[in-house]
Amino acid sequence: MTLINQLIEVVSKYGRSNLFTNWSLIDIARIIRNSFLIIINGYSLLVPLILIIFIVYWIKNKKWPEIVFFLSFFIPFFLTAKFWYGGLYGRYSSFVGYGLALLIALISNKKLYWLTILTILLVFIPCLIAYQQIPYPQAQRQIIKQTGFSKNNLLILSDYQRPHLTYKNALYINGDKNEQKIIEDKINQALKNKQRILISEQAITFPYWQYDGQQIHIISKGDIDKAVMKKFLQNKKLIKVASDKNCPLLSVYQIKKR
């Protein structure tokens, strides 16, 4: 998909009025935050440094064609950073990714060029190692299997887990207040009926500390004391029934009355 098609997709999804209106200081601050988080977590601290060096060099030497070229990638990225949604954010990163690759290709100094390439490779080693491990959705499925989960049980999962873990008797916490009330009522009813209820740690902490692939989602690294299930679970007993020492955030608990 080309950059133009990607931008059209975003405009169609959110509406032209939403994309180009409501530019308050809070909206601008949110865009700057989202842009910064995506670049830092997607590409490392090296990228802002490279961009600053190029921008200072271009302005100092009045390289206007290069500046226009860079803005053609960055402006769509900046605009779409106004919106944030759960899940993979590669589509956002691609706006910078293509431009960054071309910018690096323009480095004429061979030593600087290879130093930049080597640094980028080193920075991505932790990410490479993480993706050599067992996929976390698969690990979660194995942990659930350890619990002896059956069709007679009720399973509560995070909405982030929905694409990979689909069970007929599972409910997914997604932050919607109406659905939240329905799920809480079903849990209370299941407790009255002495039905076994299992809940993943991802559901307990939702929307915080949620896995997106093999990494914690950038914007979910927040205070778990503000999790949507926190208040409801305060008067419940949580008993850990299955876990994996390599994936502590994928533990599964059983909900019981106090």
pLDDT of res. 185: 96
Q: Residue 47's CB: how many other CB atoms inside 10 A? A: 18
pLDDT of res. 16: 47
What is the C-alpha to C-alpha distance for residues 19 and 10, in angstroms, rounded to an integer? 9
Q: Which two tokens stand for residue 26?
A: 């809070």
| The model's pTM | 0.66
pLDDT of res. 193: 95
What is the C-alpha to C-alpha distance for residues 96 and 102, in angstroms, rounded to an integer? 10
The 3-state DSSP class for residue 221 equals coil
pLDDT of res. 1: 45
pLDDT of res. 190: 95
What is the C-alpha to C-alpha distance for residues 190 and 184, in angstroms, rounded to an integer? 10
Kind of pairing between the strands at 211-212 and 215-216: antiparallel
pLDDT of res. 88: 45
What is the C-alpha to C-alpha distance for residues 28 and 157, in angstroms, rounded to an integer? 34
Residue 185 makes CB contacts below 8 A (sequence gap 6+) with: none
C-alpha dist (Å) from residue 197 to 153, 202, 255: 6, 15, 6
Per-residue pLDDT of the chain (258 residues; tens, 9 = 90+): 444 555 455 445 544 446 667 778 888 888 888 777 777 766 667 777 777 888 888 899 888 888 888 788 778 777 777 766 544 455 556 666 677 777 788 788 888 889 888 887 887 787 778 778 889 999 999 999 999 999 899 999 999 898 889 998 999 999 888 999 999 999 999 999 999 999 999 999 999 999 887 878 777 888 899 999 999 999 999 999 999 998 889 999 999 998
pLDDT of res. 43: 66
Phi, psi for 240 (deg, rounded to 5) = -70, 125
pLDDT of res. 206: 95
pLDDT of res. 231: 94
Q: Residue 223's CB: how many other CB atoms inside 10 A? A: 10
* Full DSSP string of 36-65: HHHHHHHH-THHHHHHHHHHHHHHHTT-HH
Run of H or E residues at 236: strand 236-242
Pair 160, 217: CB distance under 8 Å: yes
Q: Residues 244, 247, 248, CA angle at the centre, nearest 5°?
A: 80
Residue 160 makes CB contacts below 8 A (sequence gap 6+) with: 86, 87, 202, 206, 210, 211, 212, 217
pLDDT of res. 161: 92
**Amino acid found at 65:** P
Question: What's the first-to-final CA gap in the chain, in angstroms?
Answer: 53
Run of H or E residues at 241: strand 236-242
What is the C-alpha to C-alpha distance for residues 93 and 30, in angstroms, rounded to an integer? 17
Nearest CA to 99 out of 67, 124, 69 is that of: 69
Q: What is the maximal distance between C-alpha atoms in the chain?
A: 75
